[in-house]
Amino acid sequence: MKRCEIRFVIAMAIVLCAGTAGAAPVYTGSYVDMYLKQNTFPGGLSEENVYLDAASASTTITGHVGSQTNLRLVTFSSTTDTLNASNGFASIQSATDDYINNLTVTAPGYWFEDLIFSVNLSPSNNMDLSVTATDKSGGTNTFASWVAAGLGNGENQILVLSTGGNLMQSVTINSYYGFQSIGGLDDAKHFQFSGVTAVPEADTYAMLLAGLGLVGFAARRKLA
């Protein structure tokens, strides 16, 4: 009898989970949530705009959280494109082929609770988009992946939200037409952060020591 009751509870839990799957957030990963085109983002995020520095044909764009001159720096880099940026709370475009295929957002010396940004997808069909977050421990999780027009073209507002205090150190956006090196994002814009927290000095030193340890280990293996 007890075994039947347990099975019933499990079955009800599955039904309830299935019933809420279509509600916001659109996707739930291991430590981040994804919202898409939602007018009901959760409250209490205390978003601050990221103001870009104007740049032309660069692999790295810089910006500042909260104001054009704030010391909290943000970097936008690409492994596939040189980038152009408009000054202010503005957009980043590819200077290579009009499409951004890869863009990584970091805040050097800081962790953050969430990131909001808007993207324009093109062309209008068969567009693939994935978003990968790296948490403060260095672990990665591709928590959102749309394949073949899962988003459609046009502007899409996205929220990457950390959960359980597992703050992020970077977010990477990849977009291709059929995961081939054609098409991509027309632009990425209106970046906002909340919960920007300075990396504690002890953690900074620990990360540095861990990196030096790996270098030493690699050198010893090479000599051996």
Q: Which residue has the higher pLDDT, 159 or 60?
A: 60
Residue 223 confidence (pLDDT) above 60: no
Give the model confidence (pLDDT) of 52-98 as tens digits. Answer: 999 999 999 999 999 999 999 999 999 989 999 999 999 999 998 88
Domain residues of the chain, as ranges?
24-216
Residue 21: burial class (beta carbons within 10 Å; 0-12, 13-18, 19+)? exposed
**Proportion of the chain above pLDDT 90, given as a percent:** 33
pLDDT band at 175 (very low <50, low <70, confident <90, very high): confident
Pairing mode, strands 73-77 and 60-65 = antiparallel
pLDDT band at 24 (very low <50, low <70, confident <90, very high): very low
Residue 140 tokens read as 């990665």
- CA distances from residue 152 to 7, 99, 148, 185 in whole angstroms, order as listed: 40, 16, 9, 12
Residue 176 tokens read as 């291709």
- CA distances from residue 205 to 18, 191, 200, 201, 210 in whole angstroms, order as listed: 45, 29, 9, 6, 8
Residue 1 tokens read as 């009898």
Q: Please name which of 158, 160, 195 lies closest in space to residue 36, comparing C-alpha atoms.
A: 158
Mean pLDDT of 95-122: 88
Residue 42 confidence (pLDDT) above 80: no
> Under CATH, what is the fold of the domain 24-216?
Jelly Rolls (2.60.120)
Residue 117 tokens read as 């940004």
Q: Is the peptide bond before 108 cis (omega within 30 degrees of 0)?
A: no
Give the model confidence (pLDDT) of 133-158 as tens digits. Answer: 888 888 776 656 666 545 666 777 88
